[in-house]
Structure formats: structure tokens, C-alpha cells
Amino acid sequence: MKILAADIGGTNSRFAHFDVENFNDIRLNYFTTFNSNQKSINSVSDLIQHFDRIKSDEFSELSDYDMAVVAVAGPIRGKKCTPPNIRWEIDVTQVEEIEIHLLNDFVVQAYGCLLPHISSSMEQIKDGEKVLEGTIAIVGAGTGLGHCALIPYDGLGQYSKRYIPVPSEAGHAQLALVGDEEKELEQFVLKKTNSSSVFNELLVSGRGLSLIHEFLTGDTLEPKEVAERFNEAPKTLEFFSRLYSRACRNFCLSVYATGGLIISGGIAAKHPKIVQSHTFLEEFTTAPSQAGVLEQIPIFHNKQEDIGLLGCAYYGLMMSQ
């Protein structure tokens, strides 16, 4: 079966070819990446056509694929999505060249987590007592902040490993800031961004990394530049780790993640010290009324940045069977 997988992010879009017959075959062989924000790309149809023009000979012709599975960072309603970090609306009904399934990017990350070679490669960064049939929380910061929950369910049998993903837009829930310094950060961010409130994704993301660093140092830098200076700016690292952990903690409490927390996303994959720091692990259990619950939740770190593409292929194969 030929599946074209695409992961459309706020910065880059990635396309991959999969030729698979069973779930053990789902491994990434080759892919292509390009900027999603080019002036010539103003729709998903433009995006597909751009890919078709630049793709290598390793990819098949569009008409030869059984289906395309497209993941996008944003809320999905049927065949459409208005992503918060992309300037154009996605409507896959505009594409005639190939059948497209549209999914939230963290839903496909959740599917990817079900692959044995992915789950076995994750690093455990916090001990706990994992409930085998418990809900699993998946959170990851990159251009935005993604959330998904894997809920135990018997009805899908071998294809889901008895879990189904439940999408979430918790990245846009309000972030609680506490203490004098965090309140000062809140006022700085509201003024800087003209936002009416501070939500999770505003600070726990690449953009948030830049805002936190500017608040602390006065320097305006791109997220990549901030991360490269963590050794020179330990307070930026500490501040970001604390807020990242708080977002994870709140989501774990919301979905009662007794099956564990999986941290994914490009920021932690490139800079694991953010989620492996003492600050992150200490903040995670800072909830007096439910500290006991949080202490029992194990935390795993997925460093595989291709997990979204793998999850697209997993979904495509599951749908075919």
C-alpha cells in the first residue's frame, strides 16, 4: 500500500512516502521538507502542487498513492482547518489529485507513539507507576503547543493497540502565572503581543522562548538563538522549563494520565535539558491537592521528530484495514 504522509507545521511542511503492508513495516525511509510560508503557497492545493514540482524520483506520482494523510497544527472540523500559525485556511476538498484524510498533528503523534519501535526508544525521565490501561497524555512544544490524550478502548483491537487518540486544543487554554516575577512577565507579554490574556501556547512555544528571554534580558532573539545561549542565560532555561512543566502538569490532571506523560515536539527533541532539568521535574508535582497523583505519573521523552509522519502512515494503514 502506498501512503503519502504530510505534516504541515507553522514553519515547515514535511512529506514522506510509505510503502507498507503491516504495522511493523512503518519506518521512515525518505522525505522532503520545505517552508510552508512561501508567497506562492496560499492553500493546501498550492502546497500539494509545490510538493509535486519539487519531489524527488523516490516519490511516486500523486495518482499512484492509495491515499494521503495530512496532519496540521490546528482544530479540525470535517475536511477543513483554520490553523493558528498558518496564514491560509486548509480545505482538502479543493484537492482533486488524491484522496486526503485530514488530522490534527498531535493526533497523528499519538498514533506514532503506538508503534513498538517508537515507544521502546523513548527515554524515561521520571519514575512512576504506570497503569497499563490508563490514559496517556502527549504534550509537545514547537512553533505551537500540541496536546493529545490516548484513551484505552477495546473496540479497535489490534490496529489501535487498544487506544484511541482524543484531540485537544489545550494549548489555547489560559496559563496561570503566579508570583511577582511571573505577573511582571504577564504584563510584559500582554503589552508586547496586544493579547487580552496569556494562554499556554503564547509562552510554551518557540515564540514564548523569545518572549521570556526578552523579558529577562532585554535582548530580542529568534527562538533558535535563545536556545543556543542557554548556558549564558540559565534563568531563561529555568523560566521556560517551569512553564512547560506547568502546562504538562495541568493537562495530565485534566485527562487523569495514569498511563503516563509523553513529551514530544521539536523544542525538547533539540534541547532535552529543558524537560530533564530539576526545575521541570519539581514543578510537575507542585499541586498540593493532587501531588500524590502527579508523583505516580511516569514521564517519557520522545526524541523522534519524524513521529508525526509515522503516525500518518499508521492511520492510513489502519483505515485501509
**Structure confidence by residue, pLDDT tens digits, 105-128:** 999 999 999 998 899 999 999 999
Asked if the model's pLDDT at residue 37 lies above 90, the reply is no
- Start-end ranges of CATH 3.30.420.40 in the chain? 2-103
Q: What order do you get walking across the sheet with 76-77 strand by strand?
A: 76-77, 80-81, 90-91
Helix axes 307-320, 105-113, angle to 10 degrees: 80
Instruction: Note if the pTM is more than 0.85.
Output: yes
Question: Was domain 171-301 assigned CATH 3.10.20.90?
Answer: no
Asked if the model's pLDDT at residue 263 lies above 70, the reply is yes
Q: Which residues are paired to 152 by β-bridges?
A: 163
Q: What's the 3-state SS for 129-155?
A: CCCCCCCEEEEEECCCEEEEEEEECCC
Model confidence at 172, pLDDT cuts 50, 70, 90, reads very high
Compute φ and ψ for 87, nearest 5 degrees: -80, -10
Asked if the model's pLDDT at residue 159 lies above 60, the reply is no
7-36 burial string, b = 16+ CB within 10 Å, else e?
Answer: bbbbbebbbbbbebeebeebebeebeeeeb
Q: 224 is written with which cell numbers?
A: 533558535
- Give pLDDT, residue 229: 94
**pLDDT, tens digit, 9 for 90 and up, residues 195-247:** 999 999 999 999 999 999 999 999 999 999 999 999 999 999 999 999 999 99
User: Which top CATH class is 2-103?
Assistant: alpha beta
Model confidence at 160, pLDDT cuts 50, 70, 90, reads very low
For range 269-285, the mean pLDDT = 96
How far, in Å, CA of 166 to CA of 155, rounded? Answer: 15
- Start-end ranges of CATH 3.40.367.20 in the chain? 171-301
- Lowest average pLDDT, out of 147-151, 159-163, 219-223, goes to 159-163
